[in-house]
Structure 1
Amino acid sequence: MKITNIEAFILESPYENHAPEGSEEARGVKHCFLLKVSTDEGITGWSDIETSSHVGAAVVDAPDSGSGAFEGLKVLAIGEDPFDVERLWDKIYRGSIYYGRRGVAMQMLSGFDIACHDIIGKSIGKPIHKILGGGRREQVRAYASTLFRPTPQAMKEACAFYMERGFTAVKFGWGVFGRDPKQDIKLVAAAREALGPDIELMVDPGWMVNRSAYDAVQLCRNLEPYNIYWLEDFLHPENYEGYGKVKAAGVKTRLAAGEQEATGWGFRELIQRGGIDVVQPDLTRCGGFTQARKIMWEAEHAGVDVCPHAWLTDLNTAASLHINAVLPRSLFLEYNVSDSPMLREVIQDPVQMDNSGYIPVPQGPGLGIEINEAAVRKFSVNL
């Protein structure tokens, strides 16, 4: 089997990306990037990628430089066997190294790796969790991943909506959080009051807020009365020493981070220097399944949990479900609840949560998710 084509699709939502003004759901991202890898046997693999979509398309289509180190994804991968995921990962990493190593080049490599695993699974008729070593569970507890609402009342109304849908865990992030420290606490207090003691509550206060480690310690302690499950990505993603200082301060709350991190060796730094309790690799940003396997080993060796970050279409949701299936210990599946027709319509068979708040791990070949290519073309702006 040989790769014959790699296509980049830039999708554009009809809605702007704004934080909620009341209790309503956010519309989500303005642009979404999809990658399609085709083969000479007619089998295709897909991935969504959380990236700057227009920059990502340039990485896919960049021409041969002649140097072997500034190459685009097509130049490096067309003609290759998609089964050779380890060798291809290294070839593409080295072939883009003068403009890559992290950022959009790593994100394109991540999506390509996911698409290759999708192809492998479809070729042999097995779901990806079988390729990764076998599932330990058939369903994963989901948490609703959403944005902070601007008022305590709006927070309570949003929580009621998620409970009605059957979620047993909710994460609020970004939005207005960080503008007013006293209001921040009131928002979390309102969420805990509405959710009650038994539904898990997570907080992502936004790393773009410029906090010191001291500020983060104070935030953790101010939130302790509300029994949050974890505090996520509260410092700059490369501030490993800052994370370490927060952990050393003896805070009671779990510390989670890693959606901006990549590669097994990158997560080793975050785990060892940052001292975090939960690593959150995004499969479309960390290096795909090939690096996720290494990240899982680093986490298991250090005695910390893994909970993948996933905030795009059900392609990423499915990839995260397969990782959750093979983890020795699974915490949650992050489920993007944003109200976006662009993100929903491109999936032919979306994942479904049951009445107990769990989502089944796909059992079909590859990712186990089918793409609605008509909807992809409907929202594409680069065809």
Structure 2
Amino acid sequence: MKVTRLDVFVIGDGPDIDPDKGGVEPLACVRVHTDGGLSGLSEVFRVPPGVVRATVGGPDTHFGRLLIGQQVTHPERLWQRMWDAVMHTNRRGWQVIILGALDVALWDVYGQMLGRPVWELLGGVQRGPFQTPTGADLAVTPYCTLVSDVWGGEPMFAQQVGRAEQLAALGYRAFKVEPMMSSPADVVELARRFRRALGSKPTLMVDVGYLFHDVPTAARVCRELEAFDVFFFETPFPVDSPAPYAELAARTSIPLAMGEHGVTRWEFLDMMDRGRVSVVQPYMTTCGGLTEAKRVVELARARGALVCPGNWSTQILGAATVHLAAYSPVTPFVEFAPAEVYASPLRRELQAAGFPVNNGTIALPDRPGIGYDLPAEIASRFATP
């Protein structure tokens, strides 16, 4: 079976839905077609659609030249072919993110070709029952990211805690509050309000979105947060240098997390080895694809770190994330942007078409490939120039 065509299409909520309120900005998606009639799907989060269209397409485009006509063998061979082609160009930016999306689509094709779900082909399930809140059936547990319409003070507290209560009533079990663009006191107060409203049972994460620039302030905040059983503290500092992370890690018992923009295993190695980050958060396309994400899992496992993949995007990307989590023995949670609390019609439709969340968990996929079917009607109705 050979690759015959690469297609790009763009979907989004349109200009009337604010991205800061959960709206889906113009999102490029790719399909890899084969002469056997199979095709694989992925999205390309945070890359301008024009860049994707310019580099993915016919045999005259960069990635078309590398993939069209290639035999579909193990995706790692095709990953290496694309990676070798960026040797003298951009090895950390948009080019690698697009490579990662094509890699996910190729895994989708490969799984369909072999009639197996991708997580089995990554190495089979290695999760233990202790990794799920029920301690029984193997499953993937999403944590809900709670982004505000407003930041700081009572409006932020009320909206994020209210959303957590709404989602907990639907069966979700883990939540990440996001006191970004807020004072240190508000960071602590939001965690306090969450515990007061929801109690000690739900898992709580805190993401401050690169809020701090000095270790002493972040350390004071962490000392106060320790009273609220925080599973991880995400991106306290800008991510260009891991040095402050290492300093903070030495001063708090809360695991530190970063990696939403991490590209390739080498950046994750830097986070873990120099930054002492113990929770890394690769996006399945941004990091360089499922091929590279599996390597991140292997490196984290050898260091005693956790991999909690990021996904502040749609459940097209989320489907690939579930497959990595089903394989990984160090992935207790995956990020989930719950459509139930955001003003995005497209987000709701894509979540409904994806893997269902039942009683707070996602069952291991059993369909060949990735197993996410994007209805043509949705792609057409939400098509964006």
The verdict on a shared fold, with TM-score over 0.5 as the criterion, is: yes
What is residue 33 of structure 2 aligned with on the other side? 38
What is residue 74 of structure 1 aligned with on the other side? 64
What is residue 46 of structure 2 aligned with on the other side? 51
Structure 1 moving runs of 4+ over 4 Å: 61-64
> Residue deviations 1:81-119, cap 9 Å, x none?
232422322221232344421121111000100000000
Q: Is the 8 A contact 1:140 1:324 kept in 2?
A: yes
Q: Displacement, 1:348?
A: 7.1
Residue identity opposite 1:164 in structure 2: A
What is residue 252 of structure 1 aligned with on the other side? 253
Aligned equivalents of 1:61, 1:380: Cα separation in 2 = 18
RMSD between superposed Cα atoms in Å: 2.1
Shift in alpha-carbon separation, 1:93–1:134, aligned structure 2, 3 A: same
Return 2-11 or 177-186, whichever deviates more. Answer: 177-186
> Residue deviations 1:270-304, cap 9 Å, x none?
11001011111111111111111211111111111
Q: Is the 8 A contact 1:147 1:172 kept in 2?
A: yes
> Pairwise mapping of residues 1-383 of structure 1 onto structure 2 (< 5 A)?
1-14=1-14, 15-19=16-20, 26-54=21-49, 55-61=51-57, 72-137=62-127, 138-148=138-148, 150-173=155-178, 177-207=180-210, 209=211, 211-249=213-251, 251-338=252-339, 339=342, 340-346=344-350, 349-355=353-359, 357-382=360-385
> Residue deviations 1:143-185, cap 9 Å, x none?
1122146332333322210111111111122xx6233332332
Shift in alpha-carbon separation, 1:18–1:193, aligned structure 2, 3 A: farther
**TM-score, scaled to structure 1:** 0.89
> Residue deviations 1:48-67, cap 9 Å, x none?
12122323332325985xxx
Residue identity opposite 1:248 in structure 2: A
> Residue deviations 1:179-213, cap 9 Å, x none?
33323322222122112111111111102x35233
> Residue deviations 1:127-156, cap 9 Å, x none?
001111111354112211221463323333
> Residue deviations 1:243-280, cap 9 Å, x none?
1111122x011111111112222211111001011111
Shift in alpha-carbon separation, 1:169–1:346, aligned structure 2, 3 A: closer
Aligned equivalents of 1:56, 1:115: Cα separation in 2 = 14
Aligned equivalents of 1:233, 1:98: Cα separation in 2 = 31
SS at match of 2:230: coil
Q: Is the 8 A contact 2:212 2:236 kept in 1?
A: no
Q: Is the 8 A contact 2:67 2:78 kept in 1?
A: yes
What is residue 132 of structure 2 aligned with on the other side? none
Aligned equivalents of 1:213, 1:61: Cα separation in 2 = 46
What is residue 23 of structure 1 aligned with on the other side? none
Shift in alpha-carbon separation, 1:141–1:346, aligned structure 2, 3 A: closer
Aligned equivalents of 2:368, 2:257: Cα separation in 1 = 32
SS at match of 2:125: coil
Aligned equivalents of 1:17, 1:102: Cα separation in 2 = 29
SS at match of 2:222: helix
Shift in alpha-carbon separation, 1:56–1:124, aligned structure 2, 3 A: same
Aligned equivalents of 1:98, 1:63: Cα separation in 2 = 20
Q: Is the 8 A contact 2:146 2:164 kept in 1?
A: no
Identity %, equivalent residues? 30
Aligned equivalents of 2:109, 2:19: Cα separation in 1 = 36
Q: How many residues align?
A: 365
Q: Is the 8 A contact 1:264 1:294 kept in 2?
A: yes
Q: Displacement, 1:308?
A: 1.0
SS at match of 1:37: strand
Q: Displacement, 1:80?
A: 1.1
What is residue 68 of structure 1 aligned with on the other side? none
Q: Is the 8 A contact 2:74 2:110 kept in 1?
A: no
Aligned equivalents of 2:226, 2:286: Cα separation in 1 = 31
Q: Is the 8 A contact 1:348 1:369 kept in 2?
A: no
> Residue deviations 1:201-231, cap 9 Å, x none?
1111102x35233332233223222221111
Residue identity opposite 2:90 in structure 1: G
